[in-house]
Structure 1
Amino acid sequence: MLLRLPLLHSKKSTVQDKLLEDEKFFKVCAKVMVSRGLSIVNGRKVSFAWNIKVRNTTFSLEIGQFDPSFIKLPIVTLKCLPPDFPGTLTHVNPDRTICYMDKSLVFLDPYKPDAALDYILNAIEVTLDKIVDDKAITNDFVREFDAYWIAHDNCYLLSKEKKVKAKFFEREEAFDKDTSKEWLIFDENDEARNNKWLNKRGFIENIREVPVITVRFTDMPKLPASEVVGSWPPKNWQVFFNWLSNYHSTLSNELMRKLCEGSVNSLQQLILFSVPNIEGKHSSWFAVRVKFTKKIQDLARRYVASRKPGRKNKKVTPNTVRTMFKRDLTTNFYRLCVQDASTDFILNRNLPKKIIKSKRIAIIGCGTIGATTANLLVKIGAGHGNTGRLSLFDKDKLKAANIGRHLLCEEYLGEYKSQATKHFLQSKYSWNINITANNIDISSVNDFYKLLMMHDIIIDATGEQQFSSFISHNYRKALQSQMNVSCSILYGWVDANGLAVRALLDDGKYGCYRCMLHNENGALKERFPLKGKGMKWPHHAQKHFACGESFTPYTEGVSYSAAGFLQAMTIDYFAETPSPRFRHQGFHKSIPATKSQNIAPLKGCPCCG
């Protein structure tokens, strides 16, 4: 008996198909390139020469390394510098490759390679035009200052307080266990965060600490095109301070005064500069680390002494000091790349306003939804600020069966989920988070009312219908009483045995949690059905029953969807844009489409009617 096996492409056949596809693409390449005046340099490597004239300047380019998927852009190399051009050019890397396109801002369609290649060639032309346009060079420098500030060392800015210090230390890298060195600018009074940061960065030993001087640009750094391409970045203190004096004289005067005051006690200084963006907000930083000679220190001491009232010694004029600072009286000069790692920046970078900071948030239930929600809220500022607090409530302990979809792992087995979640979050992040953990039930009305008066929002992540009904009933009672309630309730749960997630905000203005159910022929039914007419849920979407251990199998991603709803609705609530207060998402064809909306109260609702 002959067995009929399915036909499979052999490895050889697959390779041949790939070669045919590539050959077809490169024919398109050649056609487009030649039509634009390029010539084939190397048919084997598929590269093209392009002599292109832009504003009376001829550039000689080579374009190669084409990728049919356009995941990687073709490499464009400047074969030689045009006559009378400096060695450094904007948009040209040290290896003379040209940075001509931000791939993240455009989609190049691999099914239309001719159009994609045309787009690339146009982008190259636009970039070359910028290289020869003095105004464009200056504007590029202003907008992309960081790109031209080629740093010697990395530095992380942990604090923006007025009095900070800088630490240079050796660290062990996370994966290959090599060692490297980096700078940290920190607030000496925030010892807890500093230690956490150093521990997470693999601190080995301290090399040195130096004082920090902070100055702020009032507008974006300026530099003429000729200097951008000729003398930037500054290679020593003299070039740097002369630039500052020429184009930002007020700032250089402020720096000169601060350096005199600081150099009295230390020859080494780290100077931190804050740079505003086009909108005028201070959004980026850079720094220099210098070590002055004793001549500067002697001058600084005389200058500071001469400015004290009642002193009769000879005045040291600002011009004298400025002249000295314009000389290269340093033994070290290093440029630093500064990354903002301050708590405010990390927590608010992805939000338009600090809307979560200083809010009092309670989460009841630290299971898979509650713990994940706590993690998501901490990342946007929960537990931060003068009055900010995140209160966690759960009386259960973590079991091995929970690990498959819980935020917590093996090290927390047997621990109360609320306390373990608190420990996990405070250990994971370096900033200070005000979290309280409570391994108790909120089972009495008095306990609930205390919670209500102490928080701005209560998130019910238990997914227990009985408990949620208890909260809903007593919340509406509190609203109808003489109690001064300014708190709202946010419910989030997994429904349809893992095939849907839902969330509901109750701020007393629309329907309550009980309004999600309606009476149909004497039986309580879902107001918004979870099963389409004639549809069945798949076999895997069923509860597994056992005494005290019943559970519904679904993946962690479902819990993340519910937690994502809760994070988004918390943001919307504090941003005073809470609509729609009811939100729904289905994950299977059997789940009917349900519009997210503000649900109207049901007539005769026993809770809010």
Structure 2
Amino acid sequence: MRKRNIQQEIIIILSKWGYEPVSENELLKPDNINCSLLYRKNLYFENLFNIEIFINFTDDSLLSYPEIYISEAQMDKLRARFPHIYNPIPHLEPSKIFYKDNELFSVCYQLHDSNIVPRTNLFMLMNIVETYIRNYFYKIVDQQQYIKEYNEYFIGIINLLVTCTDSSKESWILYSPEENIILDNCSQKLKKILSLKINDNYNPDFTVLTNHKKQLTITDFFNFLRLWDKVAYQHFIKLLKKNKLIYNILISSKNFVFGISFSWIRNETKGLKHIDNKKLLQNPVKFHIVHKYDFKSSILRNLPNEFRQGLFDKKIFQIGLGAIGGYMADALIKIGAGFENDFIIIDNDRLENGNVGRHLLGIEYIGLYKAEAFLKYINRQTLDQAKKIRGLVENIREYSYQYFIQNKIDLIIDATGSIEVQEYVNEMVQDIPLQYRPIILHLWIYGNGECVQGLWVHPKEQQESGGCISCLGSSGIGLYNQYLPVIDADVEQRIGVCSAFTPYAISEGMMATSLGINMLLEWIATGKVQNNYQTRYNSKYSDKKIEDIKLVANPLCPMCGEKNV
């Protein structure tokens, strides 16, 4: 097979599209930026205007789109032709490349995460690039669209200021907006900081800051703030007068939030205008991106519309925090459990050294009860935002059907993988009146991990046509032959300290969790799980497999036998 000469293909397509090469002798750039495939072209926008653009294939493997630049001179030309355009122009960032003494500014694509790069069709690639560039500049020259784009581009402007003022690019996580508490990146501890509230009706003019070629100082921020909001500016002066030490300030309004930091160690015995304190005004200011930490928003962002409500409106009761239960509980929280309604997890075992190899929880939790350890883990992951989670050091034998009548639960998840627990839960639930009876989801690993299985038992469906864990088999005889996922399984057992255990890899607990979450999402989207007895095999297993089925009453089942038809 002939190997592609991608570089040659790029040169040919650029020539066909009217681009001319740029000599590296015309450039001033850092050594780490590749400009061997930098080309330029005048792009015409009907009879309105034209712009010289530069295209740079920095990645000749074509795993990403090329960079697009326009020069500072072209930006001046745009501003002269369209007076509503002012610095910083949205989605343009300095590239550190200079062409004939003019700095080139990179156009942010907003394509890289959403468009597949058509590596094998360079004509299509060029069409995508130029279509986007045309759409971008049509937006910029339209005054109404420019204002909208500018307001939405706030985070990009702050990013630019962060790049200019803080080489470490330290961001802040805003844990509690009401109390101005951030998570300190260095200490990983929460701390309260000073806050400056801006009038929601005012928009900032960042040109005061972005037009600077030097290090930004407290004085520069003074001037910027005075133009933005005079009341906030006066409050800022009061903060400087009142506080001997200031390092971090949160700047916020309805539309904007960012942080600034600077050194302010003033002489308390002197006024703000005294020379000792006036010197401090030349101290550098650093800008910081502020991430509003909202775990719920993160969940909603990732759920497709058909699963949009997730588990926020459901009360969940999970049994077991072992190899399946740890991953399952973590995943349930990431689709909404424990934020607005109760998520109760019970397990009375401690995490032991031998558990760590296939458990969500790591070595730092060894010796702790799993329920308490998981609560510590998840509170740290969510910064205590999942306030309805309870981890209880209890055994399911301590619960009876009366509990579930008095405490309405939507779903019981049995993640123990124990047939004894499966039977006990099934027997207990049958005593609950139908109007209070929760759905049960049983999850387990079969054998040494040849497959994982799940059974979804909806009370109304069981009432009508049967289908419960006892329809599959019992602790006395195992699964009935027709439901066996693996025929003649030779299950390996090992002896531990005062106990036996079944070896299987970490992947099986994860696979069981994946199966369970998919069944849950089907229920959230459609109100039911069509095939309620499901099996997922590992990739190594190649013998006879069973299909997912709708389990109905088995005549041998003590709970559902009479419903068999």
State the distance in 1 between where 2:421 and 2:324 align: 16
Q: Match of 1:108, SS?
A: coil
Q: Structure 1 regions of 5+ residues with no counterpart?
A: 1-16, 165-184, 187-196, 246-251, 277-283, 299-329
Q: For each residue in 1:414-447, what CA deviation from the matched residue of structure 2 results, as whole angstroms up to 9, or x when unmatched?
A: 5544444344444555326565555553236x54
Going from structure 1 to structure 2, the CA distance change for 1:355 and 1:453 (only over 3 Å counts) comes to: farther
1:566 is displaced (CA, Å) by 3.5
Q: Is 1:211 paired with 2:204?
A: no
Residue identity (%): 17
1:383 is displaced (CA, Å) by 4.4
Q: Structure 2 regions of 5+ residues with no counterpart?
A: 25-34, 80-86, 96-103, 272-280
Q: Is 1:123 paired with 2:132?
A: yes
Write out aligned runs for 1:394-405 (5 A). 394-395=348-349, 398-400=352-354, 402-405=355-358
Q: Is the 8 A contact 1:501 1:586 kept in 2?
A: yes
Q: Is 1:545 paired with 2:500?
A: no
State the distance in 1 between where 2:129 and 2:347 align: 56
Could you tell me which residue of structure 1 aligns to residue 19 of structure 2? Answer: 38
One-letter amino acid of the counterpart of residue 187, structure 2: F
Q: Match of 1:98, SS?
A: strand
Q: Match of 2:433, SS?
A: helix
1:37 is displaced (CA, Å) by 0.9
Could you tell me which residue of structure 2 aligns to residue 65 of structure 1? Answer: 58
1:380 is displaced (CA, Å) by 4.8
Q: Match of 1:368, SS?
A: coil
TM-score w.r.t. length of structure 1: 0.64
Q: Match of 2:461, SS?
A: coil
State the distance in 2 between where 1:337 and 1:399 align: 41
1:372 is displaced (CA, Å) by 1.4
Q: Is the 8 A contact 2:322 2:416 kept in 1?
A: yes
Could you tell me which residue of structure 2 aligns to residue 285 of structure 1? Answer: 257
Could you tell me which residue of structure 1 aligns to residue 101 of structure 2? Answer: none
Write out aligned runs for 1:181-192 (5 A). 185-186=181-182
Q: Match of 1:203, SS?
A: coil
Could you tell me which residue of structure 1 aligns to residue 330 of structure 2? Answer: 375
Q: Is the 8 A contact 1:500 1:584 kept in 2?
A: no
1:107 is displaced (CA, Å) by 0.8
Could you tell me which residue of structure 2 aligns to residue 475 of structure 1? Answer: 429
Could you tell me which residue of structure 2 aligns to residue 407 of structure 1? Answer: 360
Q: For each residue in 1:219-275, what CA deviation from the matched residue of structure 2 results, as whole angstroms up to 9, or x when unmatched?
A: 9x5989x999989x9954444453x56xxxxxx87x689879989966979454344
Q: For each residue in 1:353-395, what CA deviation from the matched residue of structure 2 results, as whole angstroms up to 9, or x when unmatched?
A: 676558654322221001111222344554445x745332234
Q: Match of 1:502, SS?
A: strand
Write out aligned runs for 1:64-463 (5 A). 64-68=57-61, 70-79=62-71, 81-82=73-74, 84-85=76-77, 88-95=88-95, 96-101=104-109, 102-149=111-158, 150-151=161-162, 152=165, 154-161=171-178, 163-164=179-180, 185-186=181-182, 197-198=183-184, 201-203=185-187, 210-214=193-197, 217=200, 236-242=221-227, 244=228, 270=249, 272-275=251-254, 285-286=257-258, 335-342=287-294, 344-345=296-297, 349-350=301-302, 356=311, 360-380=315-335, 382-384=337-339, 388-395=342-349, 398-400=352-354, 402-413=355-366, 415-426=368-379, 429-431=382-384, 436-443=390-397, 447=400, 449-450=402-403, 453-454=406-407, 456=409, 457-463=411-417
Going from structure 1 to structure 2, the CA distance change for 1:154 and 1:545 (only over 3 Å counts) comes to: closer
1:574 is displaced (CA, Å) by 7.4
* Structure 1 range deviating more: 44-53 or 365-374: 44-53
Q: Is 1:582 paired with 2:532?
A: yes
Q: Match of 2:106, SS?
A: coil
Could you tell me which residue of structure 1 aligns to residue 10 of structure 2? Answer: 29
Could you tell me which residue of structure 1 aligns to residue 84 of structure 2? Answer: none
TM-score w.r.t. length of structure 2: 0.69
Q: Is the 8 A contact 2:295 2:382 kept in 1?
A: no
Going from structure 1 to structure 2, the CA distance change for 1:126 and 1:346 (only over 3 Å counts) comes to: closer
- Aligned alpha-carbon RMSD (Å): 4.9
State the distance in 1 between where 2:176 and 2:188 align: 22
